[in-house]
Amino acid sequence: MPGGNGSVWVEFVFLAYPCRPELRALSFLGVGLLYALTVGGHVLVVAAIQADARLHTPMYCLLGSLSGVEVCYTATVVPHMLANLLQPQKTISLPSCATQMAFFIGLGSADCFLLVVMAYDRYVAICHPLRYPLIMTLTLCVRLVVASTLIGLVLSSQLVAFIFSLPFCQARGIEHFFCDVPPVMRLVCANSHSHERSVLAAATLAIAVPFCVIATSYGFIVAAVAKLRSAGGRRRAFSTCCSHLAVVLLQYGCCALTYLRPDSGCSPGQGQLISLVYTLGTPLLNPLIYTLRNSEVKGAIGRVLPRSCLRQGRARPIGKGLAPPHANPGAPKIPLG
């Protein structure tokens, strides 16, 4: 990659990590704990949906797919962040930076598109309940999940190819924790305003347009729910959509603050804080939001956890002086769910 003075360099340096060892250790523990909770929460949701045949429906298929995408989404940057907190040199090569950005933006875009698909699922379920089994089939859900992921990756690959085809100045320090679009674009030194407009157009296509589609679908949902005569029916319909709407506002709000405003309107420190929210905070809260308001998912998780604990207990070796599980035939059996 040519620099501003014609020189060639092959690495970026991250400048946002704390310099003091004790702060790096605390940051490592905090980020590692949040990452472990995030991955564990999503894996638990996917396992519960897979284990319970009653949850093999389009709505829960989309919910499990969202959890799978968010696990991959966080895995593109968080392990590298943890590694940088432990090593003195916080560098990344240009190909690695481009790859990290492509998958991070691509899976983040797929996350946004999946939220659109979930909004469409709720629209069909509430506005066209009799036709719902005919419209929203599992086959269609799988196709929509694959299409959302492919579209996100294609858009991100084109955006990353455009960014890394631009000339970079000789300064190679990224004021961030990973390779995100705004901090990398600050290193571009040729006609940056026109390039920022191109990036803004891509962000609008991936963020603003899906959000408008979601807002439109919820407009139809509210109009349909308002026509219901039963207060209980209205309450159940709104309860079904509240979890999804909370995730939408959290996800799109953070993305809009990062990608849909000019670079001059956000200091590097503010950008770093917002990026931590949508990299660690949003994926951590999403399974909590869905499970806390969904009795079926909570019940499935409650049935999965005892089975896992029971398998671990049976896999432990029998110590000296302890009787095997079958030594007492009169002991009560442990229920499996």
* Topology of the domain comprising 11-305: Rhopdopsin 7-helix transmembrane proteins (1.20.1070)
Give the mean pLDDT of 50-55: 85
Give the mean pLDDT of 226-239: 72
The answer for 321, left when phi > 0, alpha when psi is -120 to 50, beta otherwise, is left
Q: What is the pTM assigned to this prediction? A: 0.81
Amino acid at 179: C
Count helices and strands in the chain by DSSP H and E runs: 13, 3
> How far is residue 32's CA from residue 295's CA, in Å, rounded to a whole number?
29
Lowest-confidence segment of 92-96, 279-283, 298-302, 313-317 by average pLDDT: 313-317
At residue 222 the predicted structure's pLDDT band, cuts being 50, 70 and 90, is confident
pLDDT at 6: 40
pLDDT for residue 314 is more than 50 = yes
Cβ-Cβ contacts under 8 Å for 80 (sequence gap 6 or more): 92, 100, 178
* Mean pLDDT value across the chain: 81
> How far is residue 300's CA from residue 54's CA, in Å, rounded to a whole number?
9
Give the mean pLDDT of 163-170: 83
pLDDT at 336: 36
Give the mean pLDDT of 299-325: 57
